[in-house]
Amino acid sequence: MKQLASRENADYRLLQRALAGRREPGERSGGARRIALEGVHLCQSWLASEGQPELAFFDAERLEHPEIAALLHAVADARVRICPAALLRGASQVVHGQGVIFVGRAPQPELPQRLRSNCLWLDRIQDPGNMGTLLRTAAAAGIREIHASEGCVSAWSAKVLRSAQGAHFLLDIHEGLDLERLTQRLDVPLLATALEAAVPLYDADLPAAAAWVFGNEGQGVAPALLARADMRLFIPHEGAVESLNVAVAAGICLFEQRRRSGANAGRRDG
């Protein structure tokens, strides 16, 4: 357990780079990136899924808070860094931080050779809030595999992590993919949302398993990828609204498929 007092400390600078999504000097671009998880829930999720963090930063003034104390007890002393409140606030990206930030390496699951189950494909999603909501929605719908194209916001950025609130650790997330090329691995139909030459979602014969692709907030699914879709779908809505938010559209589609499959057991919100 170490006490930090300076912004010039090497570990504190590492924390700042992780929060900003910057790689370490000399770090190869293809390796597992270092990420920062801010807040009690995300840190609890990391411990439950990934084990020990690389480093854990704690606010010295909050160590007696029950949830903070439990996290402090769970992390090996050699990985703990105790910071003055002002120092940790200086690194934090949220207005009212909870006094704990973990740093670790993003998981890098192996891409399956064949895709045979429900999966979510994301084509150039750029808004962190949308990305986080898409991941959380997929996890809630029982999907595990996420395939994100080049041009997507990083799924492991601090903003996306906060938006998804732990969903990352229920998913296998693959980033920087050529989705057109990935179609060669599909053993399930490719389903895409589109505004033209599409059938209403509620009239479509939805397969039990599919690769669902949702596209860029402004441009939709790329034309070349859309051309490979086995089925194009649209969600009927009032004509005064041009289109739905991509995360909303994904939620409607995924849960309509789930409803038809009879997968209605599980937690209920309401």
**Length of the chain measured in residues:** 270
Question: Per CATH, is 119-261 categorized as 3.40.50.300?
Answer: no
* Sequence-ordered list of residues with C-beta below 8 angstroms from that of 45, at least 6 positions apart, any chain: 37, 166, 168, 169
| pLDDT reported for residue 151 | 96
Domain ranges of the chain: 2-105, 119-261
| pLDDT reported for residue 237 | 87
pTM above 0.85, yes or no: yes
Nearest to 57 by CA among 5, 119, 15, 118: 15
Q: Return the structure tokens found at 236.
A: 């009927």
CATH, domain range 2-105 = 3.30.1330.30
Compute mean pLDDT per 10 residues along the chain, 270 residues long, and list them: 94 94 64 89 97 98 97 98 95 89 96 97 97 98 98 95 95 98 98 91 96 95 97 89 89 96 62
Is the Cα dihedral 8, 77, 161, 146 positive or negative? positive
